[in-house]
Structures are given as structure tokens and as C-alpha cells.
A and B are shown apart, each in its own frame.
Chain A
Amino acid sequence: MSTPNNLIDLQNVSFHYGDGYVLEDISFSIPEGAFVGLVGPNGSGKSTLIKLIFGLLKPQKGNVQIFGKKINKFHDWSKIGYVSQKANSFNSGFPASVFEVVSMGLTSKLGLFKFMKAPHRKAVMDALQLVGMSDFSSSNIGELSGGQQQRVFIARALVSQPEVLILDEPTVGVDANSTSDFYELLGKLNKENGITLLLVTHDIGTITDKVTHVACLNKTLHFHGETNEFEQFNEREVSGFYGHHVHVLSHDHDHGGI
């Protein structure tokens, strides 16, 4: 395999909010076309890691590179879509239609003092189509179910046609059926639309047949590699790391003979 093109690259990154490091000496990269599953117990620093990628927090040690550029030199944020852990904790009475919420995703692509035109409106409808929410474009966002809202937020992240999509526990509060539909959707975005994905989740078992890479985080990076290597990273270790028993291999499919 030729050296992959890393879209996101963290080198020896350490971070603390006040006392004590939350992340320590993390080296982590996302190759183009990958679907990376990031797992770890509550408080292990997953959301913090993502905030470092977006420059919302600055590491005390180490470097963050995005599309090969130092983070402070990178400005093309419309290339990276983000669905935050708190995306659906917005004020549910907020009077915004689904169409308007998805339009927000074009803000940085349009730039200051620019207005939506016909092609932008079409892009919004296309993004809604992609997540199967076209019928709801004029509903108020607060009237939708949690799973439907999640889809709308994905559409918002997709509307600027990003190359990378980062999702922080997007299935919290979504029922099991919708969750598996949702992972299907992510798999499709990765395989058919070629979007590089970073997914933070606790569903370590359900995703191992979708993701190409797995990363286990708990202050330090315990494992980071391709999914098939992860399966050799033995089950006992993962259980110890989570503090209870976890089914890593809850699926049985062929991994291309490796």
C-alpha cells in the first residue's frame, strides 16, 4: 500500500483544561477515504480531541495539521463538516425550518455579504434528499424526532460538500432501528460518495463491520489502526479498557482473507 494521504494529522498532541492532562501525547491521523471509528469511555477526551481538530481548543504540546497545513494556516473550513455531540441540544422552540437549518451549512462557503441563489437552494434540497428528509424541508426543526433531527444536522454538514465529515456521538437518544439506518447512511456516504469519516461512538460492536479504522482513546491512544488489526487486539484488553465486558466482534463477515 502506498503512503496514504492524511487529511488530518495530530503529532504528539497533549492538552489540559486546567489541572492534569486530558489528552497525552496523541499521534493520530485520518487517511483520505477512511472511515475511522473513535471509541472510549465517558470523559476519555474524545470530544476534546475533536475540538482540537477544529481549532476550538489549542494544544499545549504538539501539532495539528489539516489537509497538510498547520491549523492556524488552514482557513477552508467548508471542507470539513461537523456534527457535534450537542447538535440536538438546541432550544427546541427555535423557529427555524429544516431548510433554513441546512442552509446554515453554506455560511462559510458563501462567505460574508453573499446571498443564497438557486444553485445553493438546490444544494440544500440535494443534501436533504441524501439523508432522506426532503419531505420535511418546511417543518420547524423542533417538531422532528431526535433521529430525524440528527439526519438534518448531517445534511447541514454535507451541504457544503465537505471532504471530511466528523460526527461526535450522533446517535445519542436515537432508537436502535434508526441507529442502524443511520450507520447504513454513513457507510454509503463513505463508500459511494467518497467522504472521509470520523465517527465518535460507544457502539464499538456495531460499527466494526462499517469502519475501516478504529481508534481507542482514554487519555492516551490505546489502539489506532485498521479494523482487521483491531480484531486481533484482543477482546480482553478492550474489556479491561472499558471496565466491563464488550462484544467487539458482534458480526461475522469476510475481511478479504487477511
Chain B
Amino acid sequence: MIQALWKFEFLQNAFLAGILIGIIAPLLGVFIVVRRQALIADALSHITLAGIAASLLLGKYFTFWQGINPVYMGMGFSAAGSLFIEQLRKVYKHFEELAIPITLSGGIGLGVVFLSLADGFNSDLFNYLFGSVIAISRSDLSAVAVITVIVVIVVTLLYKELFFLSFDEEQANVSGVRAKWIHFIFILLVAFVIAVSMQIVGVLLVSALMTLPVAASIRIARGFKQTIVYSIIFGEVAVLGGLILAYYLDIAPGGTIVLLSALILLVVLLFKRMKQWKS
């Protein structure tokens, strides 16, 4: 494995991207989970797929477009989708969760139409749905790196506001926290992270990487900072372990990463049970 890593650039790309995604996906996931918005990641990932499909479609008609990484258009769609969700939540004030299925099914609908027009039902699509160890290019990797830097900086700078808003929105408002802006910035970050994570974990499974490590961490952590640290550790174990397994078994990494996350969750739950039993 080490030798292969040394030899093949695509493997280096996949592992470096994986390490970064293992940080940012669970990091944002913590805030998403504690706000009970776990499904938002699902809605946004499907919108991202529509963006990628749209990019493939454009590439079919304009040759110059083929040189452009479809991830960028995926990000654009995801960002637009995130704003759309915020808007819907305002319209359906008392049924906020309605925004999720509306966006999710809209995303799939658009994606299927664009893909059909682009004759896109091929092995590339399989990579987008379930992730890939070999599909990460240098340009994909730099997109992940840029997004990671942005996410880490923004979350660090806005940490106390994000934390306060997640815990108690009304009280945060009373204390003068600019809730609207912070929500807006946060959901944009989520959209970007989903778009770049998708290539390794896949559209269908990216939300699992944002929520499963957090679900495990919440059971054993003391305090919010510790919850974040454990989530990132679990996320890293799942991504790196999942990539190694996927490489050796020659299968899509999305599946192995998510199964490993689920296994970690199971172990944590059992561990917690045993501790309660003893005491």
C-alpha cells in the first residue's frame, strides 16, 4: 500500500483529499446534527448531482466546457440549493422540514433529466454516486484544499456565534448575534463541503459522513469541543480505513467509508452500554 501510494499520483490525490474531507465533513456535521438538520446534507447532495449533470450536458454541446471540472457547477448548484432551502423554511415556517424533501426530489428530478439529455448514464455517473479511489485529479484535490482552508478559518472565527445559535437561537438573537448572516454563511459552507466530498464518498452517502461520526461522538463526549474532536477522529478513521479497503477490494469507497462509520457507531454504543452496566 505504501509503495502504491508512492507510485500512483491518483492514490496520493485520493488519500490527501480523504484526509481533508475527514476533517471538514464531520466538523460541519456537528453543527448540523445538534440543530436536528441532519437531512439537509442529503437534500444538498442531490442538488449537487444535478449541477454535475448540468455540467456534463453543457460539455456535450460545447467542447470548451469539457475542460471545466464538473465539481464547480455542482458547487454552484449546491450553493443555490442551500439558499433555496433557507427561503423555503421561511415560507413554511411551521413545517420547516418540508424544505428538505422538496429540494431533494427537485434535485433528483433535475439530475435525471440532465443526465438523460447528456447520455450520462455511464461509469462516470457511478463514481459520482458512490465515490471513487481513482477519479480524484490534482484539480479536484486543490478544490478540496481550498474549501478546507476556508471552512476551518470561518468556523474558527465564527465558532462562538455558531455554537450559541445552535444551542438557543432566541437567546443568541437577544445577545445581538446576527443569526441571518451566520446561517447564510454556514449553509454555503455545507454546500461547498458536500460538493467536494462527493467525489470520494458519493452523492448518496456523503450525508452519512457528516452525521454518523457525530452520532457516535455525541454519546461519549463531554462538552461541545470534545464532540467536535471525537467526530473528526471517527471521520478520519472511517475515510482512511474505507479508502484502503476500497483499494484492496477494488470497490467504491463510498460504501466502505459509510460501513466503517456505522461500525464505529456500533462499537461506541456497545462501549457505552458496557460502561453503564458496570456502574
Whether A95 contacts B171 by the Cβ 8 Å rule is no
Report the stretch among B74-82, B172-180, B199-207 that lies at the interface: B172-180
A93 to B33, CA, bound (A): 11
B167 touches A108 (CB 8 A): no
What is B's interface to A at a CB cutoff of 8 Å? 34, 36, 157-158, 160-161, 163-164, 167-168, 170-177, 217-218, 221-227
> Residue of B at shortest CB range from A137?
B223
A113 to B175, CA, bound (A): 15
Q: Taking each of B163, B167, B223, B226, which has the highest tally of chain A beta carbons within 10 Å of its own beta carbon? A: B223
Tell me if B173 and A108 are in contact (CB < 8 A). Answer: no
- A108 B163 Cβ-Cβ under 8 A: no
Q: Tell me if A21 counts as interface (CB < 8 A to partner B).
A: no
Question: Which residue on chain A has the smallest CB distance to residue B225?
Answer: A100
- Whether, in the assembled complex, A144 has its beta carbon less than 8 Å from a beta carbon of chain B, the answer is no
Query: What 13 new A-B contacts, CB under 8 Å, besides A56-B174, A91-B36, A113-B157?
Result: A77-B175, A82-B174, A84-B171, A87-B171, A90-B168, A93-B218, A95-B217, A97-B223, A103-B160, A104-B160, A105-B175, A112-B157, A116-B160
A112 to B161, Cβ gap below 8 A? yes
B170 contacts A84, C-beta separation under 8 Å: yes
Q: How far is the CB of B37 from chain A (nearest CB, A)?
A: 12
Q: 4 shortest A-B CB distances, which residue pairs?
A: A97-B223, A95-B227, A77-B176, A108-B175
- Tell whether A138 pairs with B222 under 8 Å between CB atoms, given A56-B174, A107-B175: yes
Looking at B34, B160, B226, which has the most chain A CB atoms within 10 Å of its CB? B160
Is there contact, CB below 8 Å, between A107 and B170? no
Q: Does A73 contact B (CB under 8 A)?
A: no
Contact between chains at A100 and B223 (CB < 8 Å): yes
Q: Nearest Cβ in chain B — how far from A143, in angstroms? A: 10
Output the least CB separation between A157 and chain B (Å).
Answer: 9
Task: Answer whether residue A99 sits at the interface, using C-beta atoms and an 8 A cutoff.
Answer: yes
Q: Report the bound CA distance from A116 to B167 in whole Å.
A: 18
B221 near A95: Cβ-Cβ < 8 Å? yes
Chain B: interface secondary structure?
helix
Check B221–A107 contact: CB distance below 8 A: no
Q: Which chain B residues border A113 with CB–CB below 8 Å? A: 157-158
B-binding residues in A (CB < 8 A): 54, 56, 75, 77-78, 82, 84, 86-87, 90-91, 93-97, 99-101, 103-108, 110, 112-113, 116, 138-140
A-B pairs with beta carbons under 8 Å apart, 27 shown: A56-B170, A77-B175, A77-B176, A82-B174, A84-B171, A84-B174, A86-B170, A93-B218, A94-B167, A95-B34, A95-B218, A95-B226, A96-B163, A96-B223, A99-B223, A100-B224, A100-B225, A104-B163, A104-B167, A104-B175, A105-B175, A107-B177, A108-B175, A108-B177, A112-B161, A113-B158, A116-B160
Q: Which residue of B lies closest to A106 (CB)?
A: B160
B36 and A56: CB pair below 8 A? no
Total residue contacts A-B, CB cutoff 8 A: 81
Residues of chain A within 8 A of B164, CB atoms compared: 104, 107
Quick one: which of B161, B170, B175, B224 contacts A78, CB cutoff 8 A? B175
Contact B173 A56, beta carbon cutoff 8 Å:
yes
Return the chain A residue nearest B33 by Cβ: A95
Residues of B within 8 A of A105 (CB): 175
Contact partners of B160 in chain A: CB under 8 A: 103-104, 106-107, 110, 116
**B105 nearest CB across to chain A (Å):** 28
The smallest C-beta distance from A54 to any residue of chain B, in angstroms, reads 5
- How far is A244 from B174 in the complex, measured between Cα atoms in Å? 35
C-alpha gap A17/B164 in the complex (Å): 27
- The docked-state distance in angstroms from the alpha carbon of A95 to that of B167 is 9
Q: Which residues of A contact B168 (CB under 8 A)?
A: 87, 90, 104
Residues of A within 8 Å of B226, CB to CB, are 95
**Which residues of chain B have C-beta atoms less than 8 A from A140's C-beta?**
222-223
Query: Chain A residues with Cβ under 8 A from B174's Cβ?
Result: 54, 56, 77, 82, 84
* Contact A96 B224, beta carbon cutoff 8 Å: yes
Closest approach, in angstroms, between the C-beta of B275 and any C-beta of chain A? 15
- A108 to B160 alpha-carbon distance, docked (Å): 10
Q: Check if A97 sits within 8 Å of B224, measured CB to CB.
A: yes
Given contacts A91-B34, A113-B157, A104 and B171 within 8 Å (CB-CB)? yes
Once the chains bind, are B170 and A138 in contact (CB under 8 Å)?
Answer: no
User: What's the Cα separation between A140 and B173 when bound, in Å?
Assistant: 23
Contacts of B217 in A (CB 8 A): 95
Which residues does chain A contribute within 8 Å of B34, judged by CB atoms? 91, 94-95
- A82→B221 contact, CB < 8 A: no
Instruction: State in angstroms the CA–CA spacing of A104 and B173 once bound together.
Output: 12
Beta-carbon nearest neighbor of A89 in chain B = B168
